[in-house]
Structure 1
Amino acid sequence: MKYKELIAQMTLEEKASLMSGKDFWQTQDIERLGIQSIFLADGPHGIRKQAVAADKLGLNAGVPATCYPTAATVANSWNVELGEKVGEYLGEEAISQKVNVLLGPGVNMKRNPLCGRNFEYFSEDPYLAGKMAASYIKGIQSQGISACVKHFAVNNQEERRMSIDTIVDERALREIYLTAFEIAVKEGRTKSIMSSYNKINGTYANENIHLMQDILRKEWGYQGVVVTDWGGSNDRVAGLLAGNELEMPTTSGETDQEIVEAVRTGEVPEEVLDKCVDRLLDLIITTESVYKRPRLDFNVEQHHRVSQKVAEESIVLLKNEGGILPLKFGKKVAVIGDFAKDARYQGAGSSIVNPTILDHTLDCFEESGIVSIGFESGFERYGRKNLRKIAKACALAEKADVVLLYLGLDEVTEADGLDRRSMQIPENQIDLLHALHKVNPNIIAILSCGSAVEMPWIGKVRGLLHGYLGGQAGARAILRVLSGDVNPSGKLAETYPLRYEDTPSYRHFPGNELTVEYRESIFIGYRYYDTADIDVLFPFGYGLSYTTFDYSDIKVGQMGVTFKLTNSGDRAGMEVAQLYVGCKSSDIFRPRKELKGFVKVFINAGESKMVTIPFDDKTFRYFNVKTNQWEVEEAQYTIMIGASSADIRLTGYLQVMGTGAPLPYEKEKLPSYYLGRVNDVGVDEFENLIGHKVPVATWDRSKPLGYNDTIEQCQYAKGAVARLAYHLIVFAYWFLRKIGKRSTANLIMMSVYHTPFRGIARMTGGVVNMAMVDGLLMMANGRFFKGLSHFMKERSRKVKADKLRQQNKGLA
């Protein structure tokens, strides 16, 4: 241990106190030993430090900070150097606001397009997500503070996220859902990790010994701190034994006392607590040391320009019929769509950033050189139909050479805590598109959203530019691509299916009441579509340019692959060359191809460059469930170089020596997996894969409600008051949406409806404790007066204890 002498000076109570927050955003301090509090802040794409009320959950506006493009956007750049630059600038801004730990990046997989938080995650591919995350972490931590990669692990839905049990086979867990974290730990060297809310195969993530000890600590050698997601602690002692050091936010000393009692009874050896304290002290002391030097304000304009550069390189050109883009000089354009006036530039929930500057499309036309003849909003932002707006938009479109139509998803559709209900763009926007097409077919659509959408309307547009969520400078970046000042180089980090029903997890998302079954196993995203021969709208890795690139002269060696890349067009541009590997053996089920490397190359018109993509320890490996370790299958491998997963330009072959491991599966018991057709796997076959029976997926409505049952389940409560409360919550949600207060309505679903009873104690900063929750449960379970009496007694007892604690603190 690094801080053995310091720890030896602490009382047991002081050590336990460090394991929980001081308030909602700070760790506990111990003044007599000079141990300071450190500040943790949301920050996947910009610092979100609350301007006021640090002791509150954080619904206030944040201190102004640069709002960079979201992770889903930057992943489309496929540029790790750019990711590191974003991280450096995030780190600078964190220091200017005295933030020690930046809660990001998020590396959960895009298992399903409807996950409400996909805008905050990089990709459906763990290799790309891991490499981008590692670059962010390196940049953030180069400034002396800590990144906090999240949410560990298999947190791929928002609905019931605090109670859902993820049922996943070990191979999918390792190859798909943990690989990005592994890269973040081993290559990014993240100093902290945030554990997820959900259970994994029956055990809460932060209590899961297999995840937290066997894999994270022992296999990966992780020495940093694990932080709970806010309110994500279930059994505090079990979490501590698993190595989850820091519980956030504060529980006002309640769980500290649980730790003290557990040490005194021998349930937790004191050396286990000491190791946890040691790791937390290292995080506190190393991130505080940066503040010994003078703190400087960041250059707002410079950071804004960097945000614009990142957005420009992340924009994806998806369609360019007849070379309608870039816009020809002098073309008169009609600007239509509410997102042109008020840019949709970031996600919602815990990642909302208060931007330092905000570019709006209508303010940037003059410098772009594009001639705008006017603007019409064309549609109501939140989906209400308005024929008058459509008529005015069509009248404007008739006068234009080209229509720039800004479409997308609104701020409360993609949000922390809620999953999307469909993959569709709102119907009122599509009605507008159809009407515009009748008067002017020269339509260029500009999409603003953070995740994949269906596009049955794509035949009605000649150009399609996807800006994703481009941050505070995204609007100007899009105009620079439209005008041709910037040659688009972004490529999709996720597949766009033709329709939602084509997705492999369609039948098992977002899961039933208690569980979500990952029956598709390793076949998510392009791994499924390519293997099962399912047509898609846009494949993984796809993106057009204003120039063209030729691939030639492939050479495959033991250490990597080399090839020639030529810019055969008439303007300079950047190309993302992608390495895919497929195993020709059929003894173990595998995807047809998997991403194992990539490189982004700038090439002038007419120029050629030799490009090398090296192999690494992940190129040929698979996880063997019999040996419980990574193995290599001896076989011939196909080495593919492509412009996307579906556009393979060069192919070579390599015979690879294996590790001689036994075959992990009985082929005849897993026919769907060996065919790759996993969109409708039966329960018997899934049980053969996971090696045990699947748990019951529905609530047992005959049992009384308990700590881990959600407020949603009050609809089945024995207590009439609980049932009434449930219906009032549902009504409030409906009513708030009806009157346009959609953000508030969403907050009810996120922070009340899907919250387990224990979350009432864990998320109120100690205002309500678990003894008071016992009273609430009595009321819910039909013993109203006894429960109310118990609640009031425990509240009175807590108020007295808090006063006594404050008095003792004052005397000290």
Structure 2
Amino acid sequence: MGTTDDEIDRLLGKLTPRARALLLSGATTWRTRAEPAVGLRELVMSDGPAGVRGEAWDERNTSVLLPSASALAATWDEALVERLGGLLAAEARRKGVDVLLAPTLNLHRSPLGGRHFECLSEDPVLTGRIGAALVRGVQAHGVAATAKHFVANDSETDRLTVDVRVGERALREVYLAPFEAAVAAGVRLVMAGYNAVNGTTMTASALLTDPLKSEWGFDGVVVSDWGAVRGTIDTARAGLDLAMPGPEGAWGETLARAVADGEVPEAAVDDKARRLLRLAAWLGALGTRDASRSEAPSGEGSPCPGPASGAQGVPSPSPGPGPGTRPSAPPVPSGTRDARALARRAVAAGAVLLANRDVLPLDPGCLGTVAVIGGHAARTRTQGGGSAGVYPQAEVSVLDGIRDALHGRARVVHVPGPRPDGPAPPLDQDACTDPRSGLPGVLLRMLDADGRELYAERRRGGRLLEPRLVPGAHTVEIRARLRPRTGGSWTLGVAGFGRMSLTLDGRTLLEGDFPPPTDDPAVVHVNPPAQYAGADLAADRDALLVARRELAPGTGRATVVVAAPPAPDVSASLAEAARAAGAADAAVVVVGTTEHGESEGYDRTGLALGAAQDALVRAVAAANPRTVAVVNSGGPVELPWRDEAGAVLLAWFPGQEGGAGLADVLFGRAEPGGRLPTTWPAVLADAPVTDTRPDGGRLGYDEGLHLGYRGWLRHHRPPAYWFGHGLGYTAWAYETLTVPPVARAGDDLTVRVRVRNTGVREGREVVQVYLARPASALDRPVRWLAGYAAVRARPGETVTARVRVPARSLCHWSVAERAWRTEAGPCRVLAGRSAGDVPLVADLEVVRPPSA
């Protein structure tokens, strides 16, 4: 027996209306309020989804860093994602975290979306299934997951205020569907986004009540995105339950007064407080022996079966551990060798082999010299920018992974090539020392208004996002003694907002007041732009760099010192790379996006990697036909040289074990298991949807249902690579598709697809099933993903994939009836390897649509 609502009500009865209202605002940035009268402790929250940062953003407090969410979706492997969710839960518990703010269930609507790496895919079915798997994995081990950002929060431009205009049918069938799947999986929290939908800001939206709480039966907590609550009465009367952060904000004492004045019904506050206590009971944070873990809602009674567990093929949630308890040992404890092995396995499972001209896998026994080329090879970008970032425990670059794999077997030569376009990186501890201790890193000092030191400590690098604040602190100062390996004109700078200065050996390089142009917390507190200055530095000669920033209100907490050596001559760098590639038995060239290219708070302005990186791949590929181009990005980029390289491997942002997992793929220890979760255009102009910028504050989703590959099919445009594409290391023949002749509305159906491994290696194939209704009277996509299943087979072996197609896949949302309905008539079933490669086709008849 768990804690019942009657018991929750008994506890609520101990609290005054004011106390209940105050429970609904954060106590700090990351903590909810405690209430001793009912034995309620604070609940601790942390950002995700690639790692669990905890409350402090400190490079000394490291976290396991998994591949980006886009890479996890590329696995098309729910069992693996569940295990990774368990690893995140172990990390959360190690850091004292109760609530993980993940998964992100927004969709890849435009390839320019700056936060693609943190989202899963362009398809609601794939996003729903992978997101639900992560929810199950996290929550099976006593940590609450959070589905975010509800809803249509699919781009970053003006994200705090943008009003998304989307039709009801597209909203239901596309954008809400992944959240419905998460609710069916038992998710404990849903986060309301900053944006508005159809004229109403999400924290005050009726969608928080219907469908979320009423139709779907969500009995958890709706939490705001941080700072998204800007009004009191409208949000309190809506379905929002918890305003974060705190204690300042539009709720708190203001909400308590509104309740006392009768502007907000007590019953509304009671329901919110009841939900918060129910969550606390599930977490074991409430002073009762039998705190509950209530089951996920069944969702029965809809004319067309939902909830989204049926729609997305999500199994019923596991019951998890016993009432009010957190298990003593999740399956993969963080910080262990097993945890690193699991993270490494995830790299290979999500890596997508886009093209292969008999180059991969490379045979280490036939290699004397391997040229590893590119700045991203030595400094592989393991994660995207923004509030979800963590300081990883360790990072294995592609260069490190290759060197380790070939140690004692082959010579590895590294050539950096031309510098990728992008801002100067944060100052690295390898390039500087703390002038007080002489140890690698920088000296952080807190000064009062008269410049007196209040506090000092050594930090590892120049990126300081949440330095310790002490009473009376007026200025944060970062001192570093540089010892450049390369002489010449360096780029130096400081990132942050407010009054800042930068000096070199006592000479002022820059000074001024730089107010924030936005109140977006991801920009103000995490990823502020830098102000730059040039300075001539002599090789191996020390120079003292001092950055200062005044800690004025509204200027955030971030202070970042950046430094970049003189850029090498592009022509000479390309020639050096070509020589190294030509002299090697194989070449691996790594290119990708840079620091501000993919980040929360910004949308991208283009998909090009830049002239220098494109020229680098072309030069290397021309010098050696056994060239593998590795792409290090979280979302689509243009690959104009994709037909020139011997192989093209998509690494995504691969997390801390990236180089090790990619080496496993390059040398055949593991198959590249990934399939694209989003369609990649050849050039941006080809993409059916590119807009992320509002017009007059509004962003119209005019494409309706035709998102991603659906839009490509509708406009008859071939992309560079289709949704679902990925090659692996063997070949497959699709032989037969078996479907029942009749599908009865309201019933799931099973499709059988027989495939044969025609290659020379054992492999895994993701069999994808799509539906089409060419004779429909309704607006329909040309085809849409209905289900998928993975199979394994040895060379020459034939296997049959059983793919469940949920009844919801045959449904549409009737705007007139405000209900799910099924259209009778012919339906086409297609099976294949991607949205653009479906060689098997069969027809069935859909009969007896349910009445309203």
Q: One fold, TM greater than 0.5?
A: yes
User: What is the CA-CA distance between 1:459 and the residue it aligns to?
Assistant: 2.6
Shift of 1:361: 2.6
Q: Where does residue 121 of structure 2 map in the other structure?
A: 123
Residue 358 (1) aligns with residue 395 (2):
yes
Q: What letter matches 2:405 in structure 1?
A: S
Per-residue deviation at 1:62?
7.1
- The answer for the alignment partner of 1:567 in structure 2 is 757
Preserved CA contact (<8 Å) 1:357 1:472: yes
2:600 counterpart of 1:416: yes
Amino acid at match of 2:383: Q
Partner of 2:410: 371
Instruction: Decide which of 492, 497, 508 is 2:681's aligned counterpart.
Output: 497
Counterpart-to-counterpart distance in 1, 2:393 and 2:58: 16
The letter for the 2-side match of 1:199 is A
Other-structure match for 2:259: 263
Q: Bigger relative contact order, structure 1 or 2, given CA contacts below 8 A and separation 6+?
A: 2
Per-residue Cα deviation, 1:395-428 (whole angstroms, up to 9, x for no partner): 3222113221001111321111111110111222
SS in 2 for 1:488: coil
Match of 2:419 among 380, 403, 417: 380
Q: Pick which of 529-538 and 545-554 moved more.
A: 545-554
**d(CA) in 2 for partners of 1:658 and 1:62?**
62
| Alignment pair present for 1:205 and 2:202 | yes
Q: Which of 514, 518, 524 is matched with 2:697 structurally?
A: 514
Shift of 1:150: 0.5
The structure-2 alpha-carbon separation of the partners of 1:62 and 1:561, relative to structure 1 and needing over 3 Å to count, comes to: farther
User: Residue 552 of structure 1: CA displacement?
Assistant: 2.1
Q: Does 1:281 align with 2:277?
A: yes
Q: What is the CA distance between 1:13 and its match in structure 2?
A: 1.9
Partner of 2:27: 22
Q: Is the 8 A contact 1:164 1:513 kept in 2?
A: no
Report the residue type matching 2:632 in the other structure: S
Corresponding residue of 2:710: 527
Higher strand share: 2
Q: TM-score, normalised by structure 2?
A: 0.74
Aligned pairs (5 A) from 1:249-398? 249-252=245-248, 255-288=251-284, 298-327=334-363, 329-331=365-367, 332-369=369-406, 371-383=410-422, 386-387=569-570, 388-398=572-582
Matches of 2:178 and 2:77, distance apart in 1: 16
Preserved contact between residue 142 and residue 326 of structure 2 (Cα < 8 Å): no
Answer whether contact 1:48 1:352 (CA < 8 A) is retained.
Answer: yes
Write the deviation string for residues 416-450 of structure 1: whole angstroms up to 9, x where unpaired. Answer: 11111101112221122233344334321001100
Equivalent residue number for residue 642 of structure 1: 832
Equivalent residues of 1:151, 1:196 under 8 A apart: yes
Partners of 1:660 and 1:13 in 2: CA distance: 48
- Quote the residue 1:194 is aligned against: 191
1: distance between equivalents of 2:60 and 2:758? 48
- Using the alignment, how far apart are the partners of 1:544 and 1:482 within structure 2? 14
**Residue identity opposite 2:202 in structure 1:** A
Deviations, residues 608-640 of structure 1 (Å, cap 9, x unaligned): 222211221322011121112111111111011
How far apart, CA to CA, are the structure 1 residues paired with 2:237 and 2:200? 13
Distance 2:848 2:714 in 1: 23
Q: Secondary structure at the match of 2:12?
A: helix
Match of 2:176 among 170, 175, 178: 178
For residue 849 of structure 2, give the secondary structure of its aligned residue in structure 1.
coil
Report the secondary structure of 1:390's partner residue: helix
SS in 1 for 2:11: helix
Q: Give the C-alpha shift of residue 11 in structure 1.
A: 1.5
Q: Using the alignment, how far apart are the partners of 1:299 and 1:118 within structure 2?
A: 27
In structure 2, the CA distance between the partners of 1:342 and 1:253, relative to structure 1 (3 Å rule), is closer
**Greater share of helix residues, 1 or 2?**
1
C-alpha deviation, 1:31, in angstroms: 2.4
Matches within 5 A, 1:447-486: 447-486=631-670
Structure 1 match to 2:671: 487
**1:577 and 2:767 are equivalent in the alignment:** yes
Amino acid at match of 2:52: I
SS, match of residue 816 in structure 2:
coil
Residue type of the alignment partner of 1:348: G
Superposed counterparts of 1:425-440, under 5 Å: 425-440=609-624
Contact 1:50 1:62 in 2 (8 A): no
Give % identity: 31
TM-score (norm 1): 0.78
Contact 2:85 2:138 in 1 (8 A): yes
Report what 2:809 is aligned to: 619
Q: State the alpha-carbon separation in 2 of the partners of residues 431 and 386 from structure 1.
A: 13
Q: Does 1:651 align with 2:841?
A: yes
Structure 1 residue runs without a partner (length 5+) = 52-58, 663-812
**How many angstroms apart in 2 are the aligned matches of 1:217 and 1:322?**
53
Distance change (3 Å), C-alpha of 1:434 and 1:368 = same
Deviation at 1:382, TM superposition (A): 4.0
Distance 1:537 1:273, change over 3 A: same
1:778 alignment counterpart:
none
Q: Give the secondary structure class of the aligned counterpart of 2:807.
A: coil
Q: Cα RMSD (Å) of the superposition?
A: 2.0
Instruction: Determine if contact 2:14/2:37 at 8 Å carries over to the other structure.
Output: no
1:38–1:288: 8 Å Cα contact kept in structure 2?
no
- 1:24-82 deviations in whole A, cap 9, x for unaligned? 0000111233211010001201101133xxxxxxx544732210111100111100111
Shift of 1:294: 5.8
C-alpha displacement of 1:92: 1.3
Instruction: Verify: 1:73 aligned to 2:71, yes or no.
Output: yes
8 A Cα contact 1:95 1:295, kept in partner: no
1:595 match: secondary structure: strand
Q: Which moved more, 1:106-115 or 1:7-16?
A: 7-16
Structure 2: how far apart are the matches of 1:264 and 1:353?
A: 42
How far apart are the structure 1 equivalents of 2:250 and 2:752? 60
Amino acid across the alignment from 2:716: D
Further displaced range: 622-631 or 108-117 = 622-631
One-letter code aligned to 1:99: V
Q: Distance in 2 between matches of 1:498 and 1:406?
A: 19
